[in-house]
A and B are shown apart, each in its own frame.
Chain A
């Protein structure tokens, strides 16, 4: 059951990702990205990272992508013109991509050390409590540094966006 669900959501993620690149209209691409995020959230959930899954939904799919869609709608961006594909690329592209992916998969399999296979449901440290505890004990410094970084980014955005007052 878990493996089946994994296959389904992995397939959705990959198909949405491909669709993201293939689509010419920005809104379609943005929505495909939402699909990828949603599928990723389901994958996190399968692996036991329930808090991460919820954060993925709330932050990425729910907030950031809404902002993306909002900006695209606000600018009323039209669809891109499809680039003219030369026949060489048209016929050689897909096979070459497959070969490349195959090579990558083979190399990764050879170089990476063999590890125990993932067992669905084995990981128990994904609850909100566990994550909060480790954020405020083990990873306290990186956590605080990241928050300062985000603060700097917000300030930078305000400075850049502010109209000059003469």
Chain B
């Protein structure tokens, strides 16, 4: 098939799914936090609040776009564009699965593959700071400026441990291309321990993984490192003067960055789309079991409804889940869906950790944040890198 046509189709699919993931991630976050705090979360718009993202989008688009009189107009308009652009670019080099054949066309799952993939991600995430910093500065507001300043200092500081944590698994896997990184983690030790970076010999990269996740929280300005927008100190930090779609851009950028960090962590440390135990022990049945169990749960709760509406909505969800379970049993779509399932499951678990941490941990103080980066994370990352290098050199 024509290369350009194929790329166009793949781009349309990835962008469509990515945008929906971003919108629904926010719904999931609200739901999860609500349940952690013993609330029910959004459930007015659509069944179980499932149409809430749509309502939010309509609200944000139709809101009045206020232009404060005291802002630096050029940079004020530029900042959300920069933030959202650099947040969305990274998805283009994330591979979602192996090479597949659809209707006689062989193609890679994922838009493209760079042989400097990891460096590209680092560079792009470094450029994303400008959005936040400029927004803070151009707003001409002291709270916003404080937020912008904090954000740039924080991102410079945490980029170091993040890069050092990234380098350690690269020493073992010996490549910078994200697809080859995922492929390098295929296979099992002793037939059942997956060769993911966090388990891979000669030095399992558990510490790098934890360091990377912590730095990832800081890079995406998430709790407990959300000082750029600390609500109770800075009102809303760098985006305090933004309304309507410009505010939505920052919001979208934050969630896109979260997805990117989760994807990179999955690819580098959790083996990408490779299953957690071998196919021959039936790892292909895991999604079927999960979806069938969800369906059963839905049917059970429909039979004993807690609210009157559940009698109608839950059986529908149950049938949908059953359909998904059946889909994973069809041999022709299995090679496409299974890698996608494992990739999405790992990314989803990391995203859940992001939300879980937001629901449970308090915010750092600013000096604690800086001291933590420079006096704890940086040395630990260096030592980890040193040990990894030593082990790789000793046991090639």
Contact = CB atoms under 8 A, between A and B. Distances in A.
Interface stretch (B28-36, B98-106, B152-160, B317-325): B152-160
A51 B36 CA distance: 45
Interface string A23-37: 000011001001000
A70 B120 contact: no
B373 to A, nearest CB: 14
Contacts of B378: none
Interface in B11-42: none
Interface in B108-136: 114-116, 119-120, 122-127, 129-130, 133-134, 136
A57 B115 CA distance: 15
A127 B119 CA distance: 12
Give chain B's interface residue range (CB within 8 Å of chain A). Answer: 20 to 34
Given A61-B126, A70-B152, A54 B116 contact: yes
Nearest to A57: B123
Contacts of A50: 114-116
A66 B116 contact: no
Interface residues of A, number: 25
Interface string A114-139: 00000000000001100000000000
The main secondary structure of chain B at its interface with chain A is helix
A28 B126 CA distance: 19
Given A57-B126, A61-B127, A63-B159, A73 B149 contact: yes
A149 B155 CA distance: 26
A61 B123 contact: yes
A67 interface: yes
A69 interface: yes
A42 B290 CA distance: 46
Interface of A: 27-28, 31, 34, 38, 41, 50-51, 53-55, 57-58, 61-63, 66-67, 69-70, 73-74, 76, 127-128
Given A27-B137, A61-B126, A74-B149, 4 more contacts: A50-B115, A61-B127, A62-B127, A70-B149
A-B pairs with lowest CB-CB distance, top 10: A62-B126, A57-B123, A54-B119, A70-B152, A58-B123, A54-B116, A50-B116, A73-B137, A58-B122, A66-B129
